[in-house]
Structure 1
């Protein structure tokens, strides 16, 4: 049995956690550079929490420039065990309407301008992301959303695009009709992959702001409408997060799905030829196995 520390990565519109006791912003140094911002730490209903604004306060990082590796490393250094990603997205499904939430369980990664792994030359590792989110943590997010009175969809495929531009009509139709994606966003990849490499349970809550560009009655994405929906979603997102400590509890057992043991057999490079410089950078994310 260990201690639960909930890490929340807040997306567009979510820059705080309401009701945190002993709240303070902490600067965290990582070997992967500076995180998006300082991390807000505190205690909520007896459970330790850490909050990191993905884009930085004031929204200074575009989806492509978010320092994903530094963010995950910083949370790991602070003792986080469970990461909840909260982010805005567009919808490819009529029934998944603006204002609804989706507890994502699959991803299609179409990003191309980001560092996607902590590992590489000098220490090679391959983790499984067949099931990229943690079912236990996702179930808690679903229950928290339902308790908060939010219309929430259980399961969905998130198409991660590079951005920062929105989709063309042709792309939107392809993702929806040929690829079977349910929602589209710009930030959950490589975040989910890095969380798995760092042996962190990860759940994704996608907050729908628009219908992307495929919808014949909505046309192109209207940024003013997105922002209006975003503000309402942010309030609901905070309500969801505030219910997680009671659901997860302060004491934590090993993840039944093995998220916290993802590196058990993943590292292939022989110990005698591993790069010492890279090994030093991996002290937090892979310290348990190394």
Structure 2
């Protein structure tokens, strides 16, 4: 099966959504990928995909703002002036086969990674970037938290409504507070090997090109990660022509109890409401 066929199979067979949803809900599949993996899989990309009807609205609004499509080459993202989070929006050579995928906060993959994965797995003709001004940031953040909670306790979110994902799962996994000892900015991103472990973390990178141009790598967000793992996953650390000048980590910890106790409490709460949504060996 080719990369494109694999991606289409996952989207059509393993993921579903309602027309007004902001994200796809995909079946839980035991991951064979380590937490340190830096390459996006077809499933990683599918989990960032925006349902077609919502994507159509994004595309129409963006085109009205006279945002130009560019050729969908693997490195075309370098030509675009962009800071912050948003969506990669692409079409085929007939202006059809529309797709949208999130990048940056509140998700774990940055713009270059998502752009390159879209080009690899979808092979579109033209793409543009759209911002997230049409989305309430807090709602999207809790959707990301809901997904993280589900993966943590091995819960399948396929067939679960987006409301339940955001409210029941997302808010069950939101009792975090800043870990001041682990939230820092590091020159040259020289993060020491310490015992920081973040329940949730936002990671930002500042870099410079060979020509001296400063590049803001934006913010990516992930869960149950160490600062070192966040660093290894950010794409600017493995790209030629970029020198990282600094990075920042905003690390959140659970407020009142050890991590394992927190996990057991989230697990117990969600099993009460969704008893059939766990992998067989987890029931």
TM-score range, shorter chain: under 0.3
Higher relative contact order (CA 8 A, sep 6+): 1
* TM-score normalised by length of structure 1: 0.26
